[in-house]
Structures are given as structure tokens and as C-alpha cells.
Amino acid sequence: MSNEERGQVYASSLGRRGYNPYRLIPYRLVTRCLISLLLLLAGCALPRSTPPIIKIGMIAPFEGLYRPDGYAALYAVKLALHERNAAGGVAGYRVELMALNDDGDPAQAAFQARKLAVDPDVMGVVGPFSRTTAAAAAPFLAEAGLAWVAPVSVPDEVVRAYPNAFRLFASDQALATALIEWASTVIGEGGGVWVPDAGSFVRPLREAAAQAGILQAQPPGRRAGTEAPPLRIPILALGEDAEQAADLLREWDGEIMIGGPEAARMVTLQRAGSAATGLVWATSLQVIAWPEPFIRGYQELAGGPPGPEAALAYDATQVLLDAIAYGVIDPGGLQKLSGSITRAKVVVALGAVYRDGRNGLIAFDGDGNWVNAPVRLYRVVNGQRFGPAQRERVGESTRSCLRVSVSLCHPSPVTYRR
């Protein structure tokens, strides 16, 4: 029998299809093993590639009149988060942003505060971004135990009332005193300051003017029931309501105008037009040279350079992230948190955070105030808010164009919140 014949006999003994060695491999078993191995490898990699997540909230106007202010701050907050996450996150966590729009409306700010409160992953809040929205949101943030850092002017009584509130701005008293002291140097003999009803900053202005003895309670015009000449009130002092402030600026025919920290918002200047020229206003915003990496990083996100408001929002975010990353051991130092991060720990830590920020050294006193907060006076010139505040005396033709850069917050020991 030939070899070919032997092969045919052997093949017929294995069946019609002949010998096929691949028939011996269990395909389904191999497939299942490969899938299980891939899932096992993926499961081992997940803890290393995806850290746990916590959130910070942001309440700001992203629509409406104050939309540009909200987005200027938003890009600064995003930049701070990007830098922290790129450096490994905060206390082993990746931080995400939950930014909510309040339209610059107090009722919406309160609503958004309640939304942040119910998310257990939110550990703190940047904002709100106006005096009225901060006052409206404060009770709901306090009820939730959420720390909030506001890089804007917030009423003194609001900051004092809530231990979770931290104001990265000068106090009402400091800002109003700076304005009235400046007004006292230029008012001239027999002059006064009229403070019409136009927002919550009216009270600090009236108190400071009354203490200086230059408050004029009546508006310009003749004294009631007399033939005396009209009252001479060369200085108009404005609160923060944008629409009322713009109307008053257009109608004012006096010689000097001063205003609180929100009197020179862009909305006011746009509505008042050339009538706003000459307005001297008080703020904690600073026009300084920012570091190049900060400018470049902000421009990549926003498409334009950062302004003073953006720099302060950036500092507020960094301070909040510091508080999340660290806990308190004593008023003079910090240590890393042990255990899980909680809202209560963040509130306590904020009271002891110390940071060298874009706007200088940042620490908070026992009432949530920025220690040694800067107070700056600027003058509106040709639609620009940050012109030099001119010292001028009414009736005199000579003027000195010196920038007024006043700090009324003298160094004092820091009392930390417990």
C-alpha cells in the first residue's frame, strides 16, 4: 500500500472532513478568557488614572447686563483650577467647577445657592459677585455650611453675620472713610456732600460724611419755606445701583462726584456716557503688573488680557483651594487634612489660610475680612475707570494729578475663626 493510500485510510477513520487540528481549540473559552483579562487590567488601572472628584461652586452673572463681569471672573476661576489639577489636584482629589448663572439678580443668586447646597460634592463657593446678590445668597450658603469667598464688595453686616463668609475686599467703613477724607480735602469752605438713595453703600457714605461734619441731608435746591439762595452742594456721593447712579450722573450739575465700589461698573459708565467723567470711586481693585505666566494663561482661555477683577477672582479661587487642601492645627500653622474633606473643615481652614497672591498677602480675620485689604481711589477719565484720582479744590484752577492710593487698614493681629 502506497503512502497516499495509507493517508486516505487514516483520514477516513477521522470522519468525512478529514483531520483539522484547529477543531481542537475551544473558541468560546479563549474569547471569555481574553475579555476577563482585559477587564482585570482595566480595573487595575482605573484607580491610578481617575482620582476622586470634588467640586467648587461659582455664582456669577453669565447673562444680562453684567455678563462681561461674570465671564471675566469665570476665566480666572478656570485658570486657577487648571493649574491645580495639572499639578496633581487638591489633597488627592481632582477639582471640578459648578458655575451657575444668577443674571445679577438677588432672587436668582439665592436660588443658585440652594442648588449648590444640595450637591454633597461641592466644598466651597467663589462669589457671588455683587453686594445685593451676596446678601441674598448668604443665608442659604450658611444653612448648608458652605464657605464662600467673594472677590467683591460685600456689606459689612453680611460678613459679620455669617461665619462661613469671607470677603476678599476692603470693608464698607474703610472704603467710605477713604472717599469722604478725599472729599474733605477738595470740598472748600461751606460745602457739603449729598448722598441720595441709590443702593446699600449709601449708609456707610452717610455715616462717614456725618462723622466728618460735611453731610448734607437735603438735595440741591432752595431751602424749604425760605427765599435763601440754593444750597451749595458741590459733591455728589453715589451708592452702587447702576441704573440710579447713571441717572444721577446725567442729571448732576455739581462740581465733584464720588462713589462706592460699584458706582463705576461698566454698565453705569455705558449708560451715563460722558456724564461719568470725573467720578472718583473707591475699591480694592488694583492696577499692577501681573506675572507673565498668569497673563498668558488667562489669555489662552479668555482671548484677552486679565483685568483687576479677574486677578482678584483668581486669588479668591486659590485661597479656597488652599483651604480644601489643608486643615488647621493652630492659628499659626497648617497641616494636611486627615480623613475625608468636609465643608466644616474648609470653613475652619479658610480662617487660617495665608497666601501671597496676585493682589498681595491674603489672610482673613475673625470676621472674614481680608487683613490689610487695599483701598484705592480712581477717577473715571474718558470712559476709563482706572484713571488717577485728581486732588482739586473747588474754585481753584490749579490741580495736582497725583494718584490717590490710600490704605486705611492698619496692620493688626489676626484673630482666626474657630
Hey, which of 3-7, 348-352, 397-401 has the most confident mean pLDDT?
348-352
For 294, how many CA atoms within 13 A lie in the half-sphere containing its CB?
20
CA 156 to CA 104: how far, in whole Å? 20
Fold of 173-283+375-400: Rossmann fold (3.40.50)
**Residue 319 clears pLDDT 90, i.e. is over it:** yes
Q: Is the peptide bond before 128 cis (omega within 30 degrees of 0)?
A: yes
Q: State the DSSP string of 377-391.
A: EEEEETTEEEEEPPE
Q: What is the pTM of this model?
A: 0.80
Average pLDDT over residues 393-403: 32
Query: Do 53-170+308-360 and 173-283+375-400 fold alike per CATH?
Result: yes
With cell 470676621, the residue in question is: 367
CA 353 to CA 28: how far, in whole Å? 60
Q: What is the pLDDT of residue 230?
A: 46
Superfamily of domain 53-170+308-360: Response regulator (3.40.50.2300)
CA 312 to CA 306: how far, in whole Å? 10
User: In the predicted model, what is the mean pLDDT of the chain?
Assistant: 80
* C-beta separation of 66 from 133 below 8 A: no
**Residue 374 clears pLDDT 70, i.e. is over it:** yes
CA 154 to CA 312: how far, in whole Å? 14
The domain limits of the chain are 3-49, 53-170+308-360, 173-283+375-400
**Three cell numbers, residue 165:** 463668609
CA 169 to CA 312: how far, in whole Å? 9
Q: SS3 of 281, please? A: strand
